[in-house]
Amino acid sequence: MLRSYKLYLMLLVSSIFFIVCQNQGSITSFVSNAAAASSPSASASGAADDMPLGVSGALSERLVAMADGELVYGEPVPAPAEKIRSRSLNFKDIPLKLNDRSSSTSAATTSLTTTTTTTTSTTAKTTTSTTTTTTPKSTVDKEAAQQLFPVDTKRLPPLYIITPTYRRPEQIPEMTRLGYTLKHVPNVLWIVVEDSENRTDAVTRLLEDIGVPYVQLAAPMPAQYRKQKVKPRGVSNRNRALQWIRANATEGILYFADDDNTYNLKLFEQLRHVRKVAMFPVGLISKYQVSSPIVKNGTITGFYDGWLGGRKYPLDMAGFAVSVKFLHSRPKAQMPFKPGYEEDGFLRSLEPLDLKEVELLASNCTEILTWHTQARKNPPAPALDRKKYGGTNLVQLTSWLV
């Protein structure tokens, strides 16, 4: 009996050993797979290397596909777990196209499609037009556009800051000052419009470095105005920005913030809930050193400015803001190509506008929250002597200069 038991036990062990030997390959594969599952996979690691930090997978694929710069985020996009709620979008059901490569003037009209963008530039005094067609690699859906305004827009309406600019020695330092001011402002989109045929690399590089969400456009001054002694600077730029806002925004506030001004952050806080039009003082304007509505008992009774010029609204460009909804209610509102009367012409185009409806900011216009601090004009830098300084840091350094 005992011998039979031992024999049976030996047969059982032999059978187990034989089965293990026959399935050694399968067991080895199973162990390898289990070890691989316990550590990050090679494919996931490779994908992570290409994925922007803080961006979910689906959104990251869209961002990687936008290699031509159609969309620019000036700050990291939060992951879904970190995303602040943003239920109310401010964009129509059309492709949101940032970093517009096309140029246009105040009378330009843009048709957006899923494959092409066509921009026609016209002026009031000419019948000829030029058309530029580009094909973007991709368009941005509402989910991606939503990332521009991470805070609930019902609680904190977005600000559209319109800045016309042109190439000059003071351009980059003045844009730097304004850009880092806007960096402290939440729910802001900086619309930078260059007076040139195309966007310049210097401005693009600066905007990317600062990190404020932005749209970069190009809108050159029409040729006939460039011949005038006094030029209507910034008009085509601002009208192009108004066109962009009409096409893409439905809520919020627009404000013309020139790059040669200085701004108190309190001003942007007060702009948030403008219902129609708001006005406020601007310092360092004309011989009076200030341009402001005259307020008595909370009502505008006139305007205080060093040059009235027969204007109905003698204000500085930085002295008023407009609701986007109110702009939509005035579809023909734009800025005229009339030097010295740009602000007046634009505000007139918003009529009917009762002064009693105008909101008075800056403590009933008793404070100055923005200053016209123009930088000293500088002559262009002389050409670098390449024979003398070739191969030195000066070659690269002069690329910053005009």
Say whether pLDDT at 271 is over 60.
Answer: yes
Reported as a pLDDT band with limits 50, 70 and 90, residue 20 is low
pLDDT in tens, 323-369: 999 999 999 999 999 999 999 999 999 999 999 999 999 999 999 99
| Catalytic residue annotation | 343
Reported as a pLDDT band with limits 50, 70 and 90, residue 146 is low
- How far out from the chain centre does Cα 313 lie? 29
Name which of 162, 131, 329 is nearest 236 in CA terms: 162
How many residues are present in the chain?
402
Name which of 59, 51, 62, 141 is nearest 97 in CA terms: 141
Give me the domains of the chain, ranges plus CATH numbers. Answer: 159-371 (3.90.550.10)
Tell me which DSSP letter residue 294 carries: E
How is the beta sheet containing 282-283 ordered, strand by strand? Answer: 262-263, 370-371, 282-283, 290-296, 299-304
Tell whether 152 is in a known binding site: no
Name the region of 297 (left: φ>0; alpha: ψ -120 to 50; beta: rest): left
**Sequence letter at residue 226:** R
Instruction: Evaluate whether 138 touches 62 at the Cβ level (below 8 Å).
Output: yes
Name which of 226, 189, 253, 204 is nearest 105 in CA terms: 226
Instruction: Evaluate whether 211 touches 148 at the Cβ level (below 8 Å).
Output: no
Report the alpha-carbon distance of residue 76 to residue 83 in Å, rounded: 11
